[in-house]
């Protein structure tokens, strides 16, 4: 897994987003993701994070061991 794959999956779910994924350890399973999207408007921080987890789907259960998220409304 690499940053481009994560960014592309999130852009597919949030087409207007600005996304930056950073591998925190170099092992491909600990990620820092910053995402800004208009889709987060009206959502609580927890709901924003849940939307990102949903977009990442099965990667959250398999490939991604740790995910540090920064979400914001654009």
Only one residue has tokens 């993701």, namely: 33
- Give me the percent of the chain exceeding a pLDDT of 70: 100
pTM to 2 decimals?
A: 0.93
Under DSSP, is residue 4 helix (H, G, I), strand (E, B) or coil?
Answer: helix
**Two tokens, residue 72:** 């914001």
Question: With bands split at pLDDT 50, 70 and 90, how would you rate the model's confidence at 27?
Answer: very high
What secondary structure does DSSP assign to 11-40, as a single string? HHH-TT-EEEEEESSSSSSEEEEEEEEGGG
Question: With bands split at pLDDT 50, 70 and 90, how would you rate the model's confidence at 58?
Answer: very high
Cα–Cα distance between 12 and 55 in angstroms, integer? 8
């Amino acid at each position: 897994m690499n940053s481009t794959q994560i960014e592309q999956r999130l852009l597919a779910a949030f087409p207007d987003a600005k996304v930056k994924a950073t591998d925190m350890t170099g092992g491909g399973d600990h990620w820092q993701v910053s995402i800004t999207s208009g889709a987060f408007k009206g959502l609580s921080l927890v709901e924003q994070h849940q939307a990102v987890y949903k977009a990442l789907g099965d990667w959250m259960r398999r490939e991604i061991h740790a995910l540090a998220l920064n979400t914001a409304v654009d």
